[in-house]
Structure 1
Amino acid sequence: MDQELQARLDEWHENNEFDRIVDAVLELPVVERDYELLGHLARAYNNVGRYNEALEQLLALADQGREDPRWFYRTGYAYYHLQRYAEAAEAFSRSHELEPDEDVEEWIELVREKEERWERQERRAAADRAERMRIVEEEGQQEPFAGMDLSAFWEDSAYARETYVCEPPTEEMIAAVEEELGGYKLPASYIALMQVQNGGIPRNTCFPTEEATSWAEDHIAISSIMGIGLDKPEALGGSSGSRFMIEDWGYPDIGVVICDCPSAGHDVVMLDYRACGKDGEPSVIHVDQESDYEVTYLAPDFESFVRGLRPAEDYETPAEVTLEENLQKVTNGAFSPLLAELCTAAAEVEGLELLIRRSAERLVREKGYFALHADEKSVLMYDVQFWLYTRVYPEPTTEEYLKVYSGMIAFGGQGFSTGGYAPGFVEDWLKDRLKNGIIRKDHGKLRLAEGAAADILERLKVAGQA
Structure 2
Amino acid sequence: MSEKLLSMLEKWYEDDQHDKIVEAIEQLPKSERNYELIGHYGRALNNLGRYQEALSELFTVKQQGQQDADWHWRVGYAYFYMQKWQEALDAFEKTLELQFDAIAEEYIVACQDIIKKSAEALEDIKLTPFRERDFSQFWEKSDYADKNYVEAPPTTEMIASIEEELGYKLPADYIWFMQKQNGGIPVNTCFPTAMPTSWAEDHVAITGIMGIGREKTYSLGGDLGSNFMLEEWGYPNIGVVIADCPSAGHDVIMLDYRACGADGEPAVVHVDQEADYYITFLAPNFATFITGLVNEEVFDTSEQDKLDDLDMVKHAPFSPLLQSLSENTGEGNQIEAAIRSICMQIVEDKGFFALHADELSMLMYDIQFWLYTNANSEVTREQYLADYKDIIALAHGFSTGGYAPDFVADWLDECIAKGDIVNQQGILSFTADKVARLQAQIVNEALKPFKWLEHDSGNTSFFLTAGIYKQELFETREDEGFQGNGYDWASLADVYLQEKLPELVGIVRFDPEADMFCAYSNQKEALLQFAVGFKQACENDELIQDLFSRAILD
TM-score w.r.t. length of structure 1: 0.54
Give the superposition deviation at 1:309: 6.5
1:416 alignment partner AA: Y
What is the aligned partner in structure 1 of residue 219 from structure 2?
235
What is the rounded CA distance, in whole Å, between the counterparts of 1:13 and 1:208 in structure 2?
33
- Per-residue CA deviation, residues 206-237 of structure 1 (Å, 9 max, x unaligned), is 46769797667998643211121346553223
Give the Cα–Cα distance (whole angstroms) in 1 for the partners of residues 63 and 96 of structure 2. Answer: 18
Separation (CA, whole Å) in 2 of partners of 1:147 and 1:21: 52
> Alpha carbons of 1:229 and 1:413: their partners in 2 closer, same or farther (altered >3 Å)?
farther
Gap change, CA 1:109 and 1:351, over 3 Å in 2: closer
2:110 maps to a residue whose letter is K
Aligned length: 339
Answer yes or no: is 1:102 the counterpart of 2:100.
yes
- The aligned counterpart of 2:540 is none
Instruction: Quote the Cα distance in structure 2 between the aligned partners of 1:218 and 1:17.
Output: 31
In structure 2, the residue matched to 1:287 is: 270
Q: Separation in 1 of the partners of 2:245 and 2:226? A: 13
CA positional deviation for 1:127:
0.7
Q: How far apart are residue 288 of structure 1 and its match?
A: 7.0
* Deviations 1:221-268 (CA, angstroms, capped at 9, x unpaired): 432111213465532234643456578565793x54322233445665
Q: How does 1:66-215 map to 2 (within 5 A)?
A: 66-95=66-95, 100-103=98-101, 106-132=102-128, 153-157=139-143, 159-166=144-151, 169-187=154-172, 190-191=174-175, 194-195=178-179, 198-202=182-186, 204-206=187-189
Identity %: 37
Pairing 1:53-452 to 2, within 5 Å after superposition: 53-95=53-95, 100-103=98-101, 106-132=102-128, 153-157=139-143, 159-166=144-151, 169-187=154-172, 190-191=174-175, 194-195=178-179, 198-202=182-186, 204-206=187-189, 221-230=205-214, 234-238=218-222, 240-242=224-226, 253=238, 256-265=240-249, 268-271=252-255, 285=268, 287=270, 289=272, 293-297=279-283, 301=287, 305=290, 317=300, 327-328=356-357, 353=385, 414-416=401-403
SS in 2 for 1:102: coil
User: Compared with structure 1, are the counterparts of its residues 168 and 59 closer, same or farther at alpha carbon in structure 2 (3 Å cutoff)?
Assistant: same
Distance 1:231 1:62, change over 3 A: farther
**Amino acid of the residue matched to residue 148 of structure 2?**
T
Given that 1:245 and 1:251 are in contact with CA atoms closer than 8 Å, whether structure 2 keeps it comes out as: no
For 2:108, give the aligned amino acid.
R
Q: Distance in 2 between matches of 1:13 and 1:23?
A: 13
SS in 1 for 2:62: coil
Aligned twin of 2:422: none
Q: CA RMSD in A?
A: 5.2
CA contact (8 A) 2:110 2:194 kept: no
TM-score when scaled to structure 2?
A: 0.47
Note the C-alpha offset of 1:175.
Answer: 1.0
Give the Cα–Cα distance (whole angstroms) in 2 for the partners of residues 5 and 218 of structure 1: 41
Q: Secondary structure at the match of 1:61?
A: helix
After superposition, give the CA deviation of every residue in 1:180-210 in whole Å (9 maximum; x if it has no partner): 33322343x54455456543334x2346769
Residues 92 and 108, structure 2, Cα contact 8 Å, conserved in 1: no
For the residues of structure 2 that align with 1:4 and 1:49, how far apart are their CA atoms?
Answer: 27
Higher gyration radius (CA)? 2
The Cα shift of 1:116 comes to 1.9
Q: Evaluate the alpha carbon distance shift between residue 76 and residue 244 of structure 1 in structure 2; reply closer, same or farther with a 3 A threshold.
A: farther
